[in-house]
Amino acid sequence: MDAVETRELRYFVAVAEELHFGRAAERLGMAQPPLSRAIQRLERRLGVTLLERDRRGVLLTGAGEVLLHEARAALDATTAAVRRTRRVGGADGPGGPRDRLVLAVKAAASHELLRKLLDAYAAEPGAAEVEVLPSGTCEQGDMLRDGRADVALMHVPFNSLAGFDSEELLTEGQIAVLPAGHPLAARRSLSLAEVSAVPDLPLARWSRHGTFPPGPGPEIHDQTQLAQLIALGRTVAVFPDSARAWLWAEHAAVPLTDAPPVVTHIVWPAHSRSLALAALVRTATRL
**CA 227, CA 259: separation in Å to the nearest integer?**
21
pTM: 0.77
At residue 199 the predicted structure's pLDDT band, cuts being 50, 70 and 90, is confident
- The predicted model gives 166-182 an average pLDDT of 96
Alpha carbon distance 172, 238 (integer Å): 13
The pLDDT score that the predictor gives to residue 99 is 79
Q: Using the predicted structure, report yes or no on whether residue 91 has a pLDDT greater than 50.
A: no
pLDDT tens-digit map of 111-163 = 899 999 999 999 999 899 999 998 877 789 999 999 999 999 999 998 999 99
What would the DSSP string read from start to end of the chain? Answer: -PPPPHHHHHHHHHHHHHT-HHHHHHHHTS-HHHHHHHHHHHHHHHTS--EEEETTEEEE-HHHHHHHHHHHHHHHHHHHHHHHHHHHHTTTSTT--SSEEEEEEETTSSHHHHHHHHHHHHTSTTPPEEEEEEE-TT-HHHHHHTTS-SEEEEEETTS--TTEEEEEEEEE-EEEEEETTSGGGG-S-B-HHHHHT-TTSPBPEE-BTTBPPSSSSPEE-SHHHHHHHHHTTS-BEEEEGGGGGG--TTEEEEEBSSSPPEEEEEEEETT---HHHHHHHHHHHT-
Q: Has residue 210 got a pLDDT over 60?
A: yes
Q: Which of 2-11, 184-193, 215-224 has the highest mean pLDDT?
A: 184-193
Answer whether residue 165 shows pLDDT above 80: yes
Per residue in 219-263, pLDDT tens? 988 888 999 999 999 999 999 999 998 899 999 999 999 999 999
Say how far apart CA 107 and CA 83 lie, in whole Å: 23
Phi-psi region of 127 (alpha: psi -120 to 50; beta: other; left: phi over 0): beta
- Does pLDDT of 186 surpass 90? yes
Contact (CB, 8 A) for 187 and 201: no
Average pLDDT, the chain: 90
Q: Check residue 96 and give its pLDDT.
A: 53
The answer, yes or no, to whether residue 61 has pLDDT greater than 80, is: yes
Give the model's confidence band at 90: pLDDT under 50 very low, under 70 low, under 90 confident, else very high.
low
| Of 34-38, 86-90, 156-160, 164-168, the least confident | 86-90
pLDDT of 33 higher than 50: yes
Average pLDDT (170-174) is 96
The better pLDDT of the pair 70, 54 is held by 70
